[in-house]
Amino acid sequence: MRPKLEYTTAEFVSELERQTVQAATVADGLSESAFNWQPNSGKSWSVAQCLDHLVIMNRMYVKTLQDAVADNEDQLEPRKNPIQPSGWLTRLFVSYEEPPPKIKLPAPKKIAPPSNLTGAVIEDFKAVQLRLVDFVREWGDADLGDLKVKDPLFPIHLTADTELLIIAAHNRRHLWQAENVKKTAGFPG
C-alpha cells in the first residue's frame, strides 16, 4: 500500500487523532514491566520507549512549526493546495518514514528515549498530539506549503507541510513498532 501524501486539513487532524487512539490502545492494560519490556535482549525499544521517542520528537517539531509561523504570520497566504510534500525528494523522504522501516538508523542521542518509563508517557503523547492538532486547526488554512522551516534535527530547511507529513509518517512508524513489540516471543503481556 502506498502512503498517503496529500491531506486536507480535516483529514490530517483526523489522522493525528487516530494515532492518539492507536497509542492509547497499544499501551492499554500493560503492566509497568510489560510497558518497558525490550525485545531482542534489550537491544530494541519497548512500547514505552517507542511512545516516548515520539513525544521527544513531536515536542521539538511542534515548537519549530509554531516558531516559524510566529516569525512569518504576516506573510502567510490562504492555502491553495492540500498538505503535501514540496517535491519528489521530500515525497521520497516521507515515504521512507512509513512502516515497515526500509532503512533502520539509530536515533541521535538527543531524541533517544530513556529506559524504565512510567505510564505518564501515554499522557505526554496525548498532550503533544493535541498541540499538533491545535496547530493544524489554527494554521491549516494558511499556505504552509510555502513556509520554510529549519528542521530541528538536521541542517536542512523543509516546508511546514513537509514537516507535518514527516511527523505523521514517523508516528505511524513507531506506533507500528510498538504494536510489534507486543507480538514478540517472550513479551510479558
Boundaries of every domain in the chain: 9-181
Contact 96, 103 (CB under 8 A): yes
pLDDT tens string 7-21: 999 999 999 999 999
CA distance linking residue 159 with residue 145, whole number of Å: 6
The answer on pLDDT for 1 being more than 70 is: no
Assigned CATH topology for domain 9-181: Four Helix Bundle (Hemerythrin (Met), subunit A) (1.20.120)
Extract the C-alpha cell encoding 45. Answer: 525499544
- The whole-model pTM stands at 0.95
Give the contacts of 56 (CB within 8 A, at least 6 positions apart). Answer: 110, 111, 113
Tell me, what amino acid is at 138? Answer: E
